[in-house]
A and B are shown apart, each in its own frame.
Chain A
């Protein structure tokens, strides 16, 4: 009995401790087996990173630096081979309901209407259909797609599909939102618009977000902190806090300070590709 309460006291304390920190990655190492070569490939060597509640963190790095692999591990889709990963103090062992992922491809089920695509994830969790539809409707209006509920994905443009993808992730009401280069496949204009939209949506429901990108100005525009990874296997090269007030809009992209950040991050990445 006494032991029990002691144990629970310890966990409560740990929870309280972790309340401010959503995601804790401690010396995370990720290795996976490549069937083609028959060898283990070290994708992430050592990442230690803490993300606070309501924080927006972007990870940039040269291609092949393991940034997407790291995100997969956080999402619980990939096992990390070393170190610790925890969300709200609970270790991440597999996909869980507290985080949602927005992948680069919209990956909408072509045979489902937009609203049924948005409900897809929570339907899998057994949320009653009526409630799921109501929640989805609200999310669809939040991402600005009201009126498109009964359309099919192929009737929507790439940017709109990506909004549906975002709505599908947000409707699950996650503690942590993971975004894996969600705008990489969009054209430049749509991309800028979507960045702005994402900030608006994020501002509105204050989620904690981890955003992977290879575009430097996207990272600066969105993030509270930009994490620069070294070339693979991934290690953190530098973490740069972005000091712009929120809400932000496109004008900051022409701010001299913005360009300074851009130069600095670009220099860091260039260093990596020259090595």
Chain B
């Protein structure tokens, strides 16, 4: 211990007007929080590897194991049908990182510390979801490489492909807010992990991501057809393959915006009322 700094003398120093309520500070605080996670990201590259390994496995399983047995209408090459579905599943699965990370901050008492600072409370969740979006972009780059390796070809226009990618990332961002709410609602990191994943399996499989819903039993078809994940997949698939996507991209975008708004509100409320125990 060295001599304490004079700044910590007994008289409270005059405070800078840094506690003012301003939207600019929300941007600043969110950015500082995002930086915290982005700095940490390259220190655990294994997280990025795991994020890429799972979709890789799905690609191999579905292209080489099931692929020969699956026939889909309108696509001669199953890969052209499947890969956009895997893209969609991957980005949505990646949203689970948000919930797990938040649960970790919560159990370690970091959330308490952050909540006791004079910051915009919303910035903790915004910073977290934004940094996870960056991770998602990185995973996506890896996925595109894998897709090209197994023989997938972007047959649509560049704007179409960019629109499809943007839509997938927007959907993933929306799901990050669902996961944020899950992460804040559970008691442990493990629960955030399973609670974040378990419902995403039926969501992504009972959809048009891997097979044509028309091949499913009659009672399951309406579920698959009305699944927003089906709309997302159909939109991305059409755009990547240069086909007519109809209104699907807009409907999928509306889902993404709607989910983001609703879950941003309830997750933020949860955050404000959350304590370590």
Answer whether A and B are interacting partners.
no
